[in-house]
Amino acid sequence: MSSKISANFNAGSGGDVIFQSSNSVLFYVHKDALGYNSGGFPNADMVTVDTEPVPLTESSEVLEILFQFVYPRRHPGLDEMDFSLFIALAEAAEKYEVYFAMNMCQSRMRDYLPRYAAEVFGFAGKHDYPHVIASVAPLLIGKPLTEVAHVLPVHLFIPWSIYQQQWTNCLQESMALHTALPRCGRSPGNHEPLWYQKILELQTHLSNNITRLQTPDILFREIIAGKDLCKQCTRNFDKWKEAIQAEVQVQPDFLTFWKHYRSSESDIGRERMVGVSVLCLERGSH
């Protein structure tokens, strides 16, 4: 099958290295530009226009955008780009270390939240973008692990599972906090059923969306404000809200949790290494 040639990166552009996309489109790119603004293109120093093109695994659509970032010119803004194309571009930028594209993609990740939170989280974990991880993690604590597992890098799977379980525990404790509140002294009738109805509504909202734990002010205002509750009941709900806020406040953000987890794993690894070394020394002395 004959190859097509990129309209923007063709022989007339003066490029002295030829790359071929996965769908057989040729790109003529300047070796100097690659050298100054990227660090990972294969064989770029060893090929010329007289040799065979360097095959790349990315599509021409991705490479057409990516190669624009290796030149000192105004770069594409990536506005309103389809996510599948965007994430393919971001992966290619990381793979070939196209520095300007890496920075642009990182800053644009937030444009795809919350819809693609799991995919962004996986990408940020894979390529070590801690601030992106920190901003995305709260959006995912309510997602079943089955929906997140396929995008999680291996090194994040265990810490994320433990972290998510901690939030599940926090949810269960938060929903039960109202039982410690004093009962209202107002006579029964239509009053007590309303009290229990509002408790059930709050618990249902939290069960259906654990992320609402992070904004109890908004949740309680939606359920309680303007309802026919006595002052004592209103105070009790305020105390419940404050108790939830205190419970949530002690939960570490995922970035802090992850750093602590990695540190703990390193300590365990060091202890194992010391144990093995001691065992080897003991065996060697016999």
**pLDDT tens string 60-90:** 999 999 999 999 988 988 988 999 999 999 9
Residue 182 shares a structural domain with residue 227: yes
- Is the pLDDT at 193 greater than 80? The verdict is no
Residue 98 shares a structural domain with residue 39: yes
Residue whose token pair is 């906090």: 177
Residue 266 shares a structural domain with residue 244: no
List b or e across 124-153, with b for residues whose CB sees 16 or more CB atoms inside 10 angstroms.
bbbbebeebbebbbbbbbbbeeeebeebbe
- Is residue 282 a part of any domain in this protein? yes
- Is residue 149 a part of any domain in this protein? no
- Is residue 134 a part of any domain in this protein? no
Residue 27: give its domain's CATH number.
3.30.710.10
**What pLDDT shows up at residue 281?**
41
- Is the pLDDT at 8 greater than 80? The verdict is yes
Residue 13 shares a structural domain with residue 51: yes
Give the pLDDT mean for 41-58.
Answer: 74
Residue 96 shares a structural domain with residue 49: yes
**What pLDDT shows up at residue 27?**
95
**What pLDDT shows up at residue 274?**
40
Question: CA 150 to CA 163: how far, in whole Å?
Answer: 17
Give the pLDDT mean for 114-143.
Answer: 91
Question: CA 251 to CA 242: how far, in whole Å?
Answer: 15
**Domain housing 272:** 262-286
- Is residue 228 a part of any domain in this protein? yes
**What pLDDT shows up at residue 229?**
76
Residue 225 shares a structural domain with residue 268: no
Residue 225 shares a structural domain with residue 276: no
- Is the pLDDT at 116 greater than 80? The verdict is yes
Residue 9 shares a structural domain with residue 104: yes
Residue 275 shares a structural domain with residue 195: no
Tell me the pLDDT of the chain averaged across its residues: 84
pLDDT: which is higher, 82 or 283 = 82
- Is residue 119 a part of any domain in this protein? no
- Is the pLDDT at 46 greater than 60? The verdict is no
- Is residue 131 a part of any domain in this protein? no
Residue 176 shares a structural domain with residue 226: yes
* pLDDT confidence tier of residue 187, bands split at 50, 70 and 90: low
**Rounded to two decimals, what is the model's pTM?**
0.77
**Cα-based angle 25, 26, 27 (whole degrees, multiple of 5):** 125
Residue 15 shares a structural domain with residue 98: yes
- Is residue 230 a part of any domain in this protein? yes
- Is residue 272 a part of any domain in this protein? yes
Residue 102 shares a structural domain with residue 193: no
How many domains, the chain? 3
